[in-house]
């Protein structure tokens, strides 16, 4: 029987990482997941079980930290591939720009150096639409040719994603020695959560359903199902055509926040009774932002329309994502299941 290849998945307790691991295990790969603390291993197993994984014989764990280079060399031993999802998110304790940028950039370089030393064939980096579309205005959909322009309107999280992705491409160009790289740039990630510990992107749905969000900010952006994001990572890892490519993960048409609220009301009936039914003027959001850090993050994006094209992923890798509506409803239903609403 053919020996199973091993994929290192970094940031193993993350939303995208868990679904990547589910996809890999279902496709006959061995997975080694990195965690900052192995105390989280049982939670990860619970989440994978929730996602349909029955046996853990092909799963192992390694402790590794974005601030500690030596930990990555040990983690990647015996692995043929790497999916690097680990990065500080708006959900973490990161406060200053350096708290985001330094671990994100260093983490990418530590992982790439360790992977190269181990003879890894290909690395798939989870970047973000935040590395594509910020600091600029565009009427047409953003594509993989676009890059965030690092000006004063770009928040630390998007800045960290841009800087770390550029560092990855530069490493491959100057020091890669034939190691392959593909990058996935997801838009706003929705889909079913696997536990009560879930991604920052799902907070929008929670705030709408529990009545915390009284009105919708004027924002238009793309959405994508986490299961489709994992599928795109798998294609980026296994298909020859993906080498050297950036790939935007977006389901289709961009939605306003009000569109999202309408989808919840249409599909969830009385459960979505507290969901906002109107848009708030930009000036009101700016005033609220003075008192609420969550709202402050939105201010630079007010009134912006961030459409994204998925043409490349569909054409080059035959990727076929589901609808944004399905992803949003699945996220909401899973929050209800885990008593988060």
8 Å CB contact between 334 and 209:
no
Per-residue confidence of the chain (341 residues) as pLDDT tens digits? Answer: 566 999 999 999 999 999 999 999 999 999 999 999 999 999 999 999 999 999 999 999 999 999 899 999 999 999 999 999 998 877 666 678 888 899 999 999 999 999 999 999 999 999 999 999 999 989 899 999 999 999 988 888 899 999 999 999 999 999 999 999 999 999 999 999 999 988 888 999 999 999 999 999 999 999 999 999 999 999 999 999 999 999 999 999 899 999 999 999 999 999 999 999 999 999 999 998 898 877 777 887 888 899 999 999 999 999 999 999 999 999 999 999 999 98
Strand, helix or coil for residue 61: strand
Q: Is 112 exposed, middle or buried (0-12, 13-18, 19+ CB in 10 A)?
A: buried
pLDDT for position 132: 98
pLDDT for position 292: 81
> Around Cβ 5, how many Cβ atoms within 10 Å?
14
pLDDT for position 92: 61
pLDDT for position 2: 65
pLDDT for position 294: 74
Give the distance from CA 50 to its chain's centroid.
19
Which residues does the annotation mark as catalytic?
Answer: 161
For the record, the structure tokens of 121 come out as 């064939």
Closest alpha carbon to 305 in 154, 136, 148: 136
Using CA atoms, how far apart are residues 252 and 103, in angstroms rounded to an integer?
32
Give me the residue spans of the domains in the chain. Answer: 6-190+224-250
User: Taking the CA of residue 4 as centre, how many other CA atoms within 13 Å lie in the half-sphere pointing to its CB?
Assistant: 14
pLDDT for position 152: 87
281 DSSP 8-state letter: P
pTM of structure: 0.96
173-197 pLDDT, tens per residue?
999 999 999 999 999 999 999 999 8
Protein fold of 6-190+224-250: Rossmann fold (3.40.50)
193-219 pLDDT, tens per residue?
999 988 888 999 999 999 999 999 999
Using CA atoms, how far apart are residues 89 and 14, in angstroms rounded to an integer?
10
pLDDT for position 94: 66
Using CA atoms, how far apart are residues 221 and 256, in angstroms rounded to an integer?
7
């Amino acid at each position: 029987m053919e020996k199973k290849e091993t994929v290192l998945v970094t940031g193993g307790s993350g939303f995208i990482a868990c679904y990547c691991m589910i996809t890999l295990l279902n496709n006959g790969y061995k997975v080694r997941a990195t965690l900052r603390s192995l105390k989280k291993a049982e939670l990860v197993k619970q989440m994978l079980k929730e996602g349909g994984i029955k046996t853990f014989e092909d799963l192992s764990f390694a402790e590794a930290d974005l601030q500690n280079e030596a930990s990555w060399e040990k983690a990647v031993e015996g692995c043929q591939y790497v999916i690097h999802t680990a990065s500080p998110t708006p959900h973490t304790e990161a406060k200053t720009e350096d708290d985001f940028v330094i671990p994100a950039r260093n983490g990418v370089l530590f992982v790439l150096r360790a992977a190269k030393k181990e003879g890894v064939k290909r690395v798939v980096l989870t970047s973000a639409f935040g590395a594509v579309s910020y600091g600029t205005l565009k009427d047409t959909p953003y594509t993989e040719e676009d890059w965030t322009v690092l000006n004063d309107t770009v928040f630390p999280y998007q800045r960290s994603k841009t800087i770390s992705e550029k560092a990855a491409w530069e490493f491959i160009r100057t020091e890669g020695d034939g190691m392959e790289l593909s990058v996935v740039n997801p838009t706003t990630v929705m889909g079913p959560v696997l536990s009560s510990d879930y991604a920052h992107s799902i907070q929008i749905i929670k705030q709408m359903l529990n009545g915390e969000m009284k009105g919708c900010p004027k924002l238009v952006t793309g959405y994508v199902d986490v299961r489709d994001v994992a599928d795109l990572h798998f294609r980026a890892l296994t298909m020859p055509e993906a080498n050297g490519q950036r790939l935007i993960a977006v389901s289709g048409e961009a939605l306003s926040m009000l569109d999202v609220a309408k989808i919840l009301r249409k599909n969830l009936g009385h459960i979505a009774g507290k969901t906002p039914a109107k848009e708030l003027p930009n000036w009101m959001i700016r005033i609220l932002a003075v008192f609420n850090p969550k709202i402050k993050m939105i201010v630079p994006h007010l009134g912006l329309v961030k459409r994204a094209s998925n043409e490349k992923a569909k054409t080059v890798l035959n990727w076929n994502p589901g609808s944004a509506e399905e992803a949003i409803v699945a996220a909401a239903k899973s929050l209800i299941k885990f008593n988060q609403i």
